[in-house]
Structure 1
Amino acid sequence: MTELAAHPLTHVRQENGWSMADLARLVRRAAGREQLRSGVDRNRVWRWETGRATPSPGSQHLLARILDVPPGQVDTLGWPHWLPAHVEPHPFTLPGSRAAVQEVVVARMDRRAFLVLGGGALAGMARDWAVTEPGRLTGALDGRAVDPELVTWLENRTAELRTLAATSEPLVANLVDAHLSTAIRLLDQARYSEAVGLRLCSTVATLAQCAGWQRFDQSRHGGAQRYWQAALHASHLAGDRELGAGVLADLAYQATWLGQPRHAVDILGWARSRTASPAARSLLDVRRARALAQQGDAVACEKALSSAERELDRARPETTPGWVGWMSAADLASDAGRCWLDLGRPGRASSSIEAGLRLLDPGRARTRAVFLSYRAESAFAVGDVEAARVFALDATGVAAGTGAARCVRQAATVADRVGLGRWMQGAGSP
Structure 2
Amino acid sequence: MGDRREAFASRREVMGFTQESFATAVGVEFSTVGRWERGVLTPQPWRRPRIAKALAVSLDDLDVMLGQGSVTAPSTRRIGQHASAQVDETSLALRSSASIVPAYDPNARVDMGSDPARFLEPLTLLVQPPRRVGWAEVGQIKLMTATLAASENLYGGGMAGEAGAAHLRWASRLLGAQAGTAVEAGLFEAVGNLAGVVAFSAFDVSNHDAAARCFRFGLWCAEQGGSWELRAATLADMARQAIYLGDLDGALSLIEFAQVRADRLTATARAMIGVVRARLLAMVNRHDEARAEVERADQHFAQQQAETDPPWLVYYDEAEHAGSSARALTPLAVANKQPGDAGERLTTAIALHSDAYPRSRTFSRARLATLHMTVGDPREAVDIGRQAVFDAAILNSRRMDDELTKLVRACDRHRSIPDVAEFSDFVASAMSDV
Question: How high is the TM-score relative to the length of structure 1?
Answer: 0.61
The answer on whether the counterparts of 1:228 and 1:251 sit within 8 Å (CA) in structure 2 is yes
Name the larger-Rg structure. 2
Farther off after superposition, 292-301 or 375-384: 375-384
1:258 aligns with 2:245: yes
User: Matched residues in 2 for 1:216 and 1:171: separation?
Assistant: 13
Which runs of no fewer than 5 residues in structure 1 stay unpaired? 1-142
Query: Partner amino acid for 1:315?
Result: Q
Q: CA RMSD in A?
A: 2.6
Of 224, 230, 239, which residue of structure 2 is paired with 1:243? 230
The answer on whether the counterparts of 2:130 and 2:174 sit within 8 Å (CA) in structure 1 is no
CA shift digits 1:358-393 (9 cap, x unpaired): 222233122122211211121112252222223232
Query: Partner amino acid for 1:418?
Result: C
1:347 aligns with 2:339: yes
* CA pair 372-238 structure 1, distance change in 2 beyond 3 A: same
* CA pair 197-369 structure 1, distance change in 2 beyond 3 A: same
User: Matched residues in 1 for 2:235 and 2:423: separation?
Assistant: 41
Of 173, 194, 207, which residue of structure 1 is paired with 2:194? 207
The answer on whether the counterparts of 1:166 and 1:364 sit within 8 Å (CA) in structure 2 is yes
Of 312, 315, 318, which residue of structure 2 is paired with 1:326? 315
* CA pair 341-317 structure 1, distance change in 2 beyond 3 A: closer
What's the offset of the Cα at 1:334? 2.7
1:314 aligns with 2:313: no
Identity %: 25
What residue in structure 2 maps to residue 81 of structure 1?
none
Query: Partner amino acid for 2:391?
Result: V
Farther off after superposition, 218-227 or 322-331: 322-331
What's the offset of the Cα at 1:247? 0.5
User: Matched residues in 1 for 2:309 and 2:354: separation?
Assistant: 18
Q: Which protein has greater RCO, CA pairs closer than 8 Å, 6+ apart? A: 1
User: Matched residues in 1 for 2:331 and 2:425: separation?
Assistant: 31
- The 5-angstrom pairing of residues 27-426 of structure 1 reads 145-148=131-134, 149-168=136-155, 170-188=158-176, 190-275=177-262, 276-343=265-332, 344-345=335-336, 346-348=338-340, 349-419=342-412, 422-424=421-423
Query: Partner amino acid for 2:323?
Result: S
What's the offset of the Cα at 1:315? 0.8
What's the offset of the Cα at 1:427? 10
User: Matched residues in 2 for 1:172 and 1:290: separation?
Assistant: 27
- The 5-angstrom pairing of residues 1-40 of structure 1 reads none
* CA pair 386-144 structure 1, distance change in 2 beyond 3 A: closer
Question: How high is the TM-score relative to the length of structure 2?
Answer: 0.60
Q: How many residues align?
A: 286
CA shift digits 1:23-77 (9 cap, x unpaired): xxxxxxxxxxxxxxxxxxxxxxxxxxxxxxxxxxxxxxxxxxxxxxxxxxxxxxx
Which runs of no fewer than 5 residues in structure 2 stay unpaired? 1-128, 430-434
User: Matched residues in 1 for 2:424 and 2:144: separation?
Assistant: 48
SS at match of 1:219: coil
